[in-house]
Amino acid sequence: MVALDGNTKAQVALRTAFEEAQLLGTGLLALHASPYGSPASEIAAQDANLTDLLAGWKQDFPGTSVRSLVVSGDPDANLLKWSRSAAVLVLERPHRRICGSWAHSVAGAVLKQTHCPLIVVPREPGRGRNG
């Protein structure tokens, strides 16, 4: 499983997740959590963005089945729930570069309670929001 936040293209996380799925002989679930109360139109747009993001990767890894899912609610809780059935969970490092960013990040919360192995990958150097 790979967690995608929608703020970046997550190239390193996606490459790692696809390589792990290929290595383990499993499928891949790309998960994005949309905030509670998001309008249906916003969730549909996030789902379309996720589908577009994964399209090229599916071509590069044709033997790996891929499923995308946009869920509503808290990212931490959703990742913990879905980690129960995952072989491995891939996340990008936290966005913030300030002291304590791990303490208040999704990665930090999941690290303490995940039900599967966790791989935290670096962000692509020099890349900010949306790329």
pLDDT digits (tens, 9 = 90+) for 61-92: 999 999 999 998 888 888 888 888 999 999 88
Whether residue 55 is predicted with pLDDT greater than 70 in this model: the reply is yes
In this predicted structure, what is the pLDDT of residue 117? 87
Structure-token pair, residue 85: 């059935």
In this predicted structure, what is the pLDDT of residue 8? 73
What is the pLDDT averaged over residues 38-61? 92
DSSP 118: E
Average pLDDT over the chain, rounded to an integer:
82
If one looks up domain 2-121 in CATH, what number appears?
3.40.50.12370
Residues 66, 20: Cα–Cα separation, whole Å: 13
Q: pLDDT: is 98 or 68 the higher one?
A: 68
**21 confidence band (pLDDT: 50, 70, 90):** very high
Q: How far is CA 117 from CA 52, 57, 85, 96, 109, in A?
A: 27, 22, 11, 23, 14
